[in-house]
Structure 1
Amino acid sequence: MVKDESKLLNVLKVLAGITITVVIILFIIAYQIGVEGLDKSNRSTIISGLLSMIGGTIGAFGAYFIAKWQMTVLLERQDEKDRKKIAWEININKKQEALQILNNKIGDFQKIKEEFAKCNSYIINYLEVHEDNNEHIIYPDELFDEYLEDAVKCVGSIRDFEKAYQIIFSYKSFFKEEFIEVIEKFKKNYKQIAIELANYIQLANFNEGEYPIEEFKVTWLEDRGKMNVIVVSIQIELENQANTLNLELFEIVNNG
């Protein structure tokens, strides 16, 4: 459509130029013939012809400027349409990137859950082996030395996740305000959660010393129950964030 308008504009330019040229030539011819030397009827005919040509010239110029104005408006609308399309595509691409990052973070946290479960399993196995004999636990020497490697790895993963999650904030300009509030709240809460999980895994709630195994077990199981709820809630929150972004993408694509 733009090309057709451009061709029309060029044709009108040529017609206007030809018309002006013809008018000038006729004017010169009329002058050379000597309009004043002609009789009244011939003079009127020539003048009428010149006026018609001038009128045609004005009409040609009018058509040219109208076509030019139409062309300018069309191009502006086309530019605006192109800009909107580009902005629409960028918005989709960035949301897709953010969604992929969130899905990756969900996968990363799943690995943390596995490390967390491994740490719990170690304590459970230890308690099962020793509780029948009503033994005492000397903490941290007896238990913690063997447990330390897995505990350190899990705590490191929990802290690394907090840093890795920050990348989602580089896409803030493409998020709705409600979603920004969600991820900012999650970030704030996770700082405290990371501390609580690290303390639990490192058995920080226990002071150094000797514990009857049943006392140690009751305290640890109580802490484990709280931490399991926290871990599951983080997983659910991450999945909800991904679902929200996925829904936004669906709406944008369908609304075009």
Structure 2
Amino acid sequence: MSKKIDYIFIACVIVFVISLLVFIIQFIGKDSENEATITSGLLSFFGGAVGAIGAYGVAKHQINEEKKSNKINQFNAEYPVYIGLELEFKKIVEFLDREKTKNLIINREESQWDFYDMNEDTWEKKWRLSDPFLLKKIIEFQTILTKIQESYEVDIAQLNSDNRDSWNDKGIRKNFKIWKTEREKRQKIVSEIPIYYQQAENILKLLEQQIEKIQNIINGKNSPFDDNIYIKENEKV
């Protein structure tokens, strides 16, 4: 809408300038009997130009204010989502910090492991975020969390059970392949937990940065149209 008004204004200016030139050509160097009429026409054109510029300025200002208001409302709606995700990633960082300091050994995988208390409602609201880079990072990390959770919920000890039902007639453990696969998955996850911990810390810092930016926008300290609102892919944490 703003661009449309700009185009209309430019067209009006062009028409005005052309018409003004025509009047001036007719007026200068000629002893016209319609001198008063031409003079009156010129003054009317000047008056119309001033009115048009004024109307354009008012319309432009109204549109800019409406866009600003809509943008601020958008950030107001996103703000509680950012707060929720910040709390969620604080829990994740604590959880992964505990896991990496346990000195976990694959031979201790005698049962299921406890996963952190995930708030699924908070994760579902991530789609309200308008920052594409941060949203991408959060989605990617959610995939990692799902992988960890699925592995932690597997009772590896049960798959490796010596119960009679776990063996077939040929003396081969029925769940051997599953047990081996799940054990390898758990082992890989354990080895990568320090990496996941660092990734979670980085995302938490990005969330904290973004929360501060949005607070400044809501409080009127920064413009909602600032180019630095959204996180750049090469931005340092």
* TM-score, normalisation: structure 2: 0.49
- State which structure, 1 or 2, has the greater radius of gyration over its C-alpha atoms: 1
Give the TM-score normalised by the residue count of structure 1.
Answer: 0.46
